[in-house]
Amino acid sequence: MEAVIANIRKMSRYMAYLYFEKRDYARLQAYLSDSISWVGTGKYEICHNKEEAQHFFMEEQRVYQGVFTITNDTYRVIPLNTCTVIAICLCRVQPQDRDALDMCEDMRFSLLWTKEDDEWKISHVHASIPDSSLDETNYFNLNPKELKSAGIQLASRYDTLTGIRNMEGFVKEAERLLKDTTQAYALIRFNICNFRFINHQYGYAFGDDILKSIAHNLSLSCQDTETCARIEKDTFVMLYHLQDKEKMYKRMYEVKSRLLDCSSLRRLKQKVQYTAGIYILEKDNKENIKSMMDKAAFAMKYVENTLDSSKFMYYESWMLQKKNRDDELLEQAKAAMQNQDFKLVIQPQMQLEDDRIVSGEALSRWTLPDGTAVAPDGFISLFEKYGLISKYDFYVLHLLCKTMQRWIRENRKIFPISVNQSRTHLTEPNYIEYFIQVVDSYQIPHELIVFELTESAFTESEKLLQHFMMSLKNAGFQIAIDDFGTGFSGISLLSRVNADILKVDKSLLNGINTSRRQMTIFWKIIEMAHSIGMRVICEGVETKEQLNDIRLLKCDIAQGYLIGKPIPLEEFEEKFMSPTVRI
Ligand code: C2E
Ligand code: CA
Ligand code: CA
């Protein structure tokens, strides 16, 4: 046995030399057993055959291409039986190129040797940071068969693409780490910004490389009693110790700057950005891990979507309360739509040339069973978020068309009426066909319907938008650009979009009587719109001064509380639509 131990010690030293100093994985692989089950730097990097081991080595090479220097190496060789021997090397390794990889670590390099046909082969190779909880008694006391079956069981908790934990693995490991600990922890969940763009621009294989690189670097960022996982496509979670928010800020910044390895970074030419939510765990750690992940996800939703850099947000209890309120509102909305509890109001629009009411805008109102009125701003964005908006906007369209059909039958003086349609419809297949079908089912002449799209809709793909607008125009509807002046598109929008009406937002109007600059801008907008054949509606006119100002600036139509508030249909009919000959 002495000779075996000496031989294994010598071979193990050679393996450490190949692994760290030469990084000659090809030669090292010649020593691997066919039943290799474990390889890597993390705690549980499982592989099931030589091919997977080779893949792992290639990944390692890709992340850092240089070599290490070994110092202070000591070896311990422990025979389990005549055919199985454990060798552990404790050493210090230092990368030769410290600019590329800034670390100098004490390492435990462990090998499990098994005798196969008179040859010693490695069924386990593992480099880890020394951890007293992982000494040979609880780390190596499995025989290779047991190791393999443990490996298969463990594999279901690992993500096949990246090798780090998956959702199930994370939950199990987090539960283990949080059991009986007094440490403070935070659960971080993050999502890569524009990952779809990376896939599209560079191809899915590169997208996968990015995910692997992130996973690898995340696992390196974890200390012994921390963990990380990839739980969905480009969503990762970490369970990190929490000292204070300032240290967490620094750590998040560091994580961000090290997410990619050199080769991915070179190809992508920029760092990846993330949006993260952080949940600080309660002291008793009794909470369900998935509910912690949900809370971190709520926080993520509140991160501002700015273009410049990664952002994160801490979870706060109001976020859950808001979510619950939203869920409740959504449930009520579904019932309200069935019970026809939404009502239409119409706001009159006055032509400035002769002060006649010439058109109106349909807006919706919702009164809850307890009498509370919910303003559209409080539910439209919610409907958009949860995919209810299409149903809702068509519901409103039906209501309006039904009313207009009655007006036509009653021979009333009839105005064109605007409907607000969400920008989300731009990407809905067959939306316009369905829109036309509804209007036609009530036999409403198309020119009596004005289709309002907010300025923000015009940030969508140019081609898509052009096609959308063209189809509406060809069908004879009028198109209005709503809320002009609140988005980013500005004047350039007017040259790109063939709309009939420009609705200038009230925020632009507010400054005109105090600022000459604002007044000039307002005037130029009107002038430009006229020069390309558009009519201009000014929204939010509340005072006589404002009305005079916009009259002077040659605005075409005024809408606002001064002219008239949005009023129920019956009131609107009574006030503005006495049954006379149709015009
Ligand atoms: P909007 O299209 O810009 O509609 C004008 C909003 O300004 C209305 O608010 C109207 O009540 C308000 N308003 C009118 N005149 C004045 C004024 O002089 N002063 C002030 N301070 N406000 C005035 P409302 O009805 O609360 O609607 C808010 C937004 O909700 C609408 O903005 C529109 O974008 C959206 N919306 C309303 N109904 C629908 C709908 O059926 N479908 C969709 N997709 N969106 C809708
Ligand atoms: Ca509008
Ligand atoms: Ca508006």
Q: Is the pLDDT of residue 193 over 90?
A: no
Neighbours of ion ligand 3 (CB under 5 A): 482-483, 539
Beta strands in 41-116 (DSSP E): 68-81, 84-95, 105-116
Nearest CA to ligand 1 atom 7: 540
Residue 384 CA, closest ligand 1 atom number: 44
Per-residue model confidence as pLDDT tens digits over 271-298: 788 899 999 998 887 899 999 999 999 9
Instruction: Say how far residue 302 (Cα) sits from the centre of its chain.
Output: 11
Tokens of 53: 């081991």
CB of 456 closer than 8 Å to CB of 422: no
Can you tell me the distance from the alpha carbon of 62 to that of 97, in angstroms, rounded to the nearest whole number?
14
Counting ligands in written order, the one closest to the CA of 504 is: 3
Nearest CA to ligand 1 atom 35: 376
Q: Which of 69-73, 323-327, 461-465 has the lowest mean pLDDT?
A: 461-465
Can you tell me the distance from the alpha carbon of 46 to that of 35, in angstroms, rounded to the nearest whole number?
12
364 in ligand 1 pocket by Cβ < 6 Å?
yes
CB of 442 closer than 8 Å to CB of 408: no
pLDDT band at 581 (very low <50, low <70, confident <90, very high): very low
Do strands 185-192 and 235-241 pair parallel, antiparallel, or not at all (unpaired)?
Answer: antiparallel
Name the residue with tokens 């539910």: 379
Question: Hey, which of 171-185, 516-530, 545-559, 565-579 has the most confident mean pLDDT?
Answer: 545-559
Rounded to the nearest whole angstrom, what is the distance from the C-alpha of residue 419 to the centroid of ligand 2? 7
The whole-chain average pLDDT of the chain stands at 85
347 in ligand 1 pocket by Cβ < 6 Å?
yes
Q: Is the pLDDT of residue 42 over 80?
A: no
Q: What type of residue sits at position 134?
A: L
Can you tell me the distance from the alpha carbon of 399 to that of 468, in angstroms, rounded to the nearest whole number?
23
540 in ligand 1 pocket by Cβ < 6 Å?
yes
Can you tell me the distance from the alpha carbon of 48 to that of 61, in angstroms, rounded to the nearest whole number?
20
Q: Positive or negative, the Cα torsion across 427, 428, 432, 433? A: positive
420 in ligand 1 pocket by Cβ < 6 Å?
yes
Rounded to the nearest whole angstrom, what is the distance from the C-alpha of residue 531 to the centroid of ligand 2? 23
Nearest CA to ligand 1 atom 10: 566
CB of 186 closer than 8 Å to CB of 281: yes
Burial class (CB in 10 A: 0-12, 13-18, 19+), 116: middle
Residue 282 DSSP code: P
CB of 541 closer than 8 Å to CB of 559: yes
Per the model's pLDDT, the better-predicted residue between 163 and 235 turns out to be 235
Nearest CA to ligand 1 atom 46: 420
Q: Is the pLDDT of residue 150 over 50?
A: no
pLDDT band at 143 (very low <50, low <70, confident <90, very high): very low
Find the helix or strand (DSSP H, E) in which 197 lies.
helix 195-202
Nearest CA to ligand 1 atom 45: 420
pLDDT at res. 386:
84
DSSP characters over 241-278: E-S-HHHHHHHHHHHHHTSS-HHHHHHH-S---EEEEE
Nearest CA to ligand 1 atom 17: 540
Counting ligands in written order, the one closest to the CA of 540 is: 1
Q: Is the pLDDT of residue 526 over 50?
A: yes
Q: Positive or negative, the Cα torsion across 496, 501, 507, 509? A: positive
> Which residues are registered as beta bridge partners of 93?
70, 105
Rounded to the nearest whole angstrom, what is the distance from the C-alpha of residue 363 to the centroid of ligand 3? 11
Rounded to the nearest whole angstrom, what is the distance from the C-alpha of residue 481 to the centroid of ligand 2? 9
